[in-house]
Amino acid sequence: MGSFCTLALNGYEIDQSKSYISTSWSCFFTEEDRRSRMVPYQTYYSSPIADDDNVPTCEYAASASAIKLRLEIMGYTLDKVKRKYSEGIENALLTRAQFDCEDDIDHLNTLKNGGFGYWVALIKHIFENNITDYSENLEQQEGIVRFMLEVDDIHQDIYLGYPNIGIGYVLRGLLEAADPDSELVLDLTDVVYSGYYGEKEPVCAHTAQSYLDSSLPFQKIIILTEGASDSKILMKALRLLYPQVSNYFSFLDFDDYKAEGGSAMLEKTVKSFAAAGISNKIIALFDYDAAGLASFQRLKKIKFPENFRIISLPPIELADSYPTIGSDGMIKHENVNGCACSIEMYLGIDILADDAGHLAPVKWRSIEPQLKIFQGEISGKARLQKNYFKKAKAAQKKEALQSDQDWSGLISVFERIFEAAATMDHAPTPLKYI
């Protein structure tokens, strides 16, 4: 009969695999998601395997909200899921028409006319009532529900009523029918006790790594910045603000490779990576100052491969009226968005303001020749960075962000990064029927 591992959303089994986990599953979890619980032996076995009536599980679990964010970052956005739903149903209808499958055509038209929202409502009904293809009351269900749960060994183009174009799309759609606090659980207990994996083996990490080496959609997204300090600041913030997705990104290591910084060097690096045919997903993040904006605009005129995204730091409300120092030494408030917004501008008002509440002013430098606007630089960068890392260390020590800390600027930066990551597409990876 064999041993199986299962993938369940809020207790409902959505997929299973014999002996070993699906490589795709491993990319949904991190080793921090691993856990073990004591459960009655009857959950897995017909007789006790230990001195008591309980056995420890071996499983990975993450909240639906965490899985949703991870999928979004990998490019499985809700908009794409809705679009793929419509396209896939249309394709399935064309296939069935060739074989005169009238019943299937009727059900597919119901899914088509009802739309994605209708499908989500059906999935909620299935989840809430725990209806499966072997439920005793399956015949009492509506025909559309039975159609969604039937295993189609011939066409294999519909899975739980959704186009079978990959577990990422299916799962992202199913998550719309699940409570945000519910869990996605990968249960390895049976295959671990059968000897396919070691009890302490980092199964997801090992499986994902082998998959990452050969599969572009799940490789880490590399973020290129204008300098070492930018990368260090963002890396620290990512681990604090979004720990559930921190393993999905990596930053260019300026220190180890003695890489130069600045917008001109980042512009050159992006072009070099594209010319070399780098297969990783690349996000180039420019400062929102005059120099960075000039580089950004030049690169936007170039057609880059689909795995490249060129973005800049976002406009920030704080910079709409920010203190600046002119050549006369006088301070006045000006809009410095697109002129002087380096990463320091996003570190938070608690970092930028001194004890008296005065913001570190921007000093105007030379005119950027392409845009013909002044390049500004925030004063006291080293001090601001030092205070930021103290702030981050305090939050890390208490394992929580402090109420008196301002992270809004960096949150806006990551929202832009996540948005860029979500626009990268994938090749289909259909699910296999068992």
Least confident of 3-7, 203-207, 216-220, 417-421: 216-220
Q: For the segment 47-70, what is each residue's pLDDT rounded down to a tens digit? A: 666 667 788 899 999 999 999 999
How much is the pLDDT for 433?
38
pLDDT-derived band at 214, boundaries 50, 70, 90: low
pTM over 0.95: no
pLDDT of 233 = 97
Domain ranges (residues) in the chain:
4-66+180-212, 78-170, 217-313+418-422, 317-411
Q: Is the pLDDT of residue 420 over 90?
A: yes
| pLDDT single digits (tens) 227-243 | 999 999 999 999 999 99
Q: Is residue 318 within 8 Å of residue 302, measured between CB atoms?
A: no
pLDDT recorded at residue 255: 62
Provide mean pLDDT across the span 236-251: 94
* Domain topology for 217-313+418-422: Dna Topoisomerase Vi A Subunit; Chain: A, domain 2 (3.40.1360)
DSSP string, 104-161: HHHHHHHHHHHHHHHHHHHHHHHHHHT--TT-TTGGGS-HHHHHHHS--TTT--EETT
Contacts of 68 (CB under 8 A, 6+ apart): 172, 175, 180
Q: In what order do the strands lie in the sheet with 308-312?
A: 249-251, 221-224, 281-286, 308-312
Tell me, what's the pLDDT at 429?
46
Q: Can you tell me the distance from the alpha carbon of 136 to that of 122, in angstroms, rounded to the nearest whole number?
A: 18
Length of the chain: 434
Q: Which pLDDT tens digit goes with each residue over 377-405?
A: 999 999 999 999 999 999 988 877 877 89
> pLDDT value at position 426?
53
State the pLDDT confidence band at 432, using cuts at 50, 70 and 90.
Answer: very low
